[in-house]
Amino acid sequence: MESVEHLPGIESRMVVTERIRTHLLTSGPLGGVPVIFLHGNLSSAAWFEELMLVMPVRYTCYAADLRGYGETEDLPIDARRGARDTADDLRSLFTALQIDAAHLAGWSAGAAAAMQFAIDHPRAVASLTLIAPVSPYGFGGTRDVDGTPSTPDFAGSGAGTVNVEAVAELRLGRVESDSPLSPLQLLRTVFVEPPARVAREKTLVRAMLQQKLGERRYPGDFVRSPHWPHVAPGVWGPINALSPKYFNASSIADIPDKPPVLWIRGEADRIVSDHSLFDLAAAAGQDPASGSAGFPPQPMVAQMREILRRYKSNGGRVEEVTMKATGHSPFLERPEEFLKAFCNFLRNGVAQGVL
């Protein structure tokens, strides 16, 4: 596993918690207002370094390598707990750092852990920022805004839907490759909206290659299904943990203590979308010959919008920001625009006495 070189001003250390040894990146003043960033799949805390370094000086920024990623202790993810392995790890990190409450920002799959943490520990969340978040009904296998499963066994979700050639490219460990499924090309064509390029490409790819692989890691195990597309989730790994069989954060709309929420996403996101490039139902295009007829694409954005509508109608404060010509990584693709929206959200909440 190649090491990742961190930017000047970023402190890298291991934090021993009651659950897991966590690799943590930190920037900002000692004792400042804590902001915690949670990364997604095929990434690590290192993806947030540029953002951490330009945050206003009043904030102390933290970004942890989550279980199964980066340099954090290599322990399996029990998918049957949904996002709770990660959310519980985060709670133990709060304890180790003596943090009572923090602004929480979860990106992509990291937003699943952020939502679960807010459900379990709402008073520990000063504010909740969801960056290109996975749906509150997970990824794949649901058919409408209410998260109704398309099949009884949640076929079309979980580790069996992951492209095996992309996993093979990860195993090769190549920082540079022309293969369209290599980490570098996925970064350039899927994580960001072409023709945009991001800073420190090779560093970000090295972080992608730190992804822990295997049946109990990424992507996880799967079982055969009688229903199209004939794979259903197993019980291990981060992709199964995002199956709606195990993950459902829709109850966030009903938590009694509601932190203000910022939902910020790219208009051209190809990963989290109502027609996601990685949703097998969307890829099949309702082709009767494929067996996908009656298995509609998951309306991921519509599902999130409906849950946040409920959140707001139940007394919560919600702000939605959609960034044009932007893909799945708005904080990397348009950092100045993202920073302005994020800091305005934090500052306005404080000014209104909400945070």
What single string gives the DSSP state of each residue in 233-272? Answer: E-SBSHHHHTSTTT---GGGGG-SS---EEEEEETT-SSS
How does residue 350 score in pLDDT terms, banded at 50, 70 and 90? Answer: very low
DSSP letter for each residue of 309-326: HHHHHTT--EEEEEETT-
| Token pair listed for 49 | 């370094």
Question: Average pLDDT, stretch 224-247?
Answer: 97
Q: Rounded to a whole number, what is the distance in angstroms from the first to the last CA of the chain? A: 40
- For residue 259, tell me if it sits in a domain: yes
Q: Is 3 part of a structural domain of the chain?
A: no
- pLDDT digit string (tens) for 284-328? 776 666 667 778 999 999 999 999 999 999 999 999 999 999 999
The pLDDT mean for the chain works out to: 95
Residue 260 forms part of a structural domain: yes
Identify the DSSP state of 305.
Answer: H
* 58 neighbors 33 (Cβ within 8 angstroms): yes
Residue 351 in this model has a pLDDT that exceeds 50: no
Question: How far apart (Å, rounded) are the C-alpha atoms in residues 353 and 348?
Answer: 9
* Mean pLDDT on 326-351: 91
Mean pLDDT of the region 62-67: 98
Beta carbons of 333 and 327 less than 8 angstroms apart: yes
User: For residue 198, what are its two tokens?
Assistant: 């991001």
Per-residue model confidence (pLDDT) at position 348: 85
Q: Supply the range of the domain harboring residue 260.
A: 11-151+241-351
Does pLDDT of 42 surpass 50?
Answer: yes
- pTM attached to this predicted model: 0.95
Q: How far apart are CA 157 and CA 140, in angstroms?
A: 5
Report the pLDDT value the prediction gives residue 282, as an integer from 0 to 100: 87
In a domain, 29, yes or no: yes
Average pLDDT (119-143) is 98
Domain CATH number, residue 290: 3.40.50.1820
Instruction: Please tell me the distance from the alpha carbon of residue 25 to that of residue 6, in angstroms, as a whole number.
Output: 9
- Cα distance between residue 215 and residue 192, in whole Å: 28
Concatenating the DSSP letter of every residue in 93-145 gives HHHHHT-S-EEEEEETHHHHHHHHHHHH-GGGEEEEEEESPPBTTBSSSB-ST
pLDDT digits (tens, 9 = 90+) for 113-129: 999 999 999 999 999 99
Domain total of the chain: 1
Tell me, yes or no, whether 184 lies in a domain: no
Please enumerate in sequence order all residues whose Cβ is within 8 A of that of 158, keeping only pairs 6 or more positions apart, or say none: 79, 140, 141, 220, 222, 231, 232, 233, 234, 239, 240, 242, 243, 245
